[in-house]
Amino acid sequence: MKRLGRTFFSCDAAVLAPALLGCTFVRMTDAGERLAGLIVETEAYAGPADQAAHTRNGHRSPRNEVMWGDAGLCYVYFTYGMHHCMNVVCGGVDVPEAVLVRAIEPVDGIEIMRTNRSSTATGSKPRKHPLRDRDLCSGPARLCQALGISRDENGLDMTQSDRLWIEPAPDIGRGAVPPDRIVNTTRVGIDSAGPEWAGKPWRWYDRGSAHVSKR
DNA sequence: ATGACGATTTACT
DNA sequence: GTAAATCGTCATA
């Protein structure tokens, strides 16, 4: 099986983020089941200068240590006391950049994703209406829930791990998602970083996908 | 030691 | 549209 290697990830976050659209994110469960989906929405977090990034002002701690590691590592963090979000580390060693994967379109293991996202699995109230497939992975915490990603996956090297990797888009280089379908706009949930950084057009998504987190 | 807050989601008015 | 849930992390003391 083909997978993206170190070279692909060794670039600026604002370059990697749109390049990941159309690629397939793969997560193998402990039981050997393949959970996979097409990446349809990403955001770039760019190093010490970016006031919306966990590494703003060069901040380095046990929590964000993985962001300082080599490109291709998986950075998972816990937030709001209940959610996990997953990033692809890029840049290179001591260049703390990462791309947040905000949404994927489920392809393989959809039944397991439905189970992982069910109210019984999440502990939330019973759903009034059935969980739609478009709601399975349409958000950074939702996709982690669906794929069973937690801090256990933090630091995994996606260029080598047998549990986590990314497969190239069919027509990599030219872009699996036609350029006219890629929307480039501002990031979500970072207003507190201030207008200068909240205004950066560092979010990309596929206009044609029903699986993005926000339209 | 304490308090404020978060790269979110869900439920409710 | 607003509010609640819920806890690790970080700044302040």
Q: Is pTM, for the whole model, over 0.85?
A: yes
A213 within domain boundaries:
no
Which residue gives the smallest C-alpha to C1' distance to C6?
Answer: A81
Cα separation of A76 and A55, whole Å?
Answer: 14
C-alpha count within 13 angstroms, C-beta hemisphere, residue A193:
21
Q: Please give the pLDDT value at position A173.
A: 53
Count of structural domains, chain A: 1
Tens of pLDDT along A68-84? 999 999 999 999 999 99
Nearest nucleotide to A78 by CA–C1' distance?
Answer: C8
Burial of A196 (0-12, 13-18, 19+ CB in 10 A): exposed
What pLDDT score does A2 carry?
A: 93
pLDDT band at A176 (very low <50, low <70, confident <90, very high): confident
- The 10s digit of each residue's pLDDT in A106-132 is 999 999 999 999 999 998 999 988 999
Residue A212 domain flag:
no
Tell me the CATH number at A44: 3.10.300.10
Q: Which nucleotide is nearest to A137 (CA to C1')?
A: B9
**Residue predicted with more confidence, A128 or A174:** A128
Q: Residue A214: inside a domain, yes or no?
A: no
Question: What range defines the domain where residue A64 resides?
Answer: 6-206
If you measure CA to C1', which residue is closest to nucleotide C10? Answer: A61
H or E element: which one contains A121?
Answer: helix A119-122
> Mean pLDDT of all residues in chain A?
96
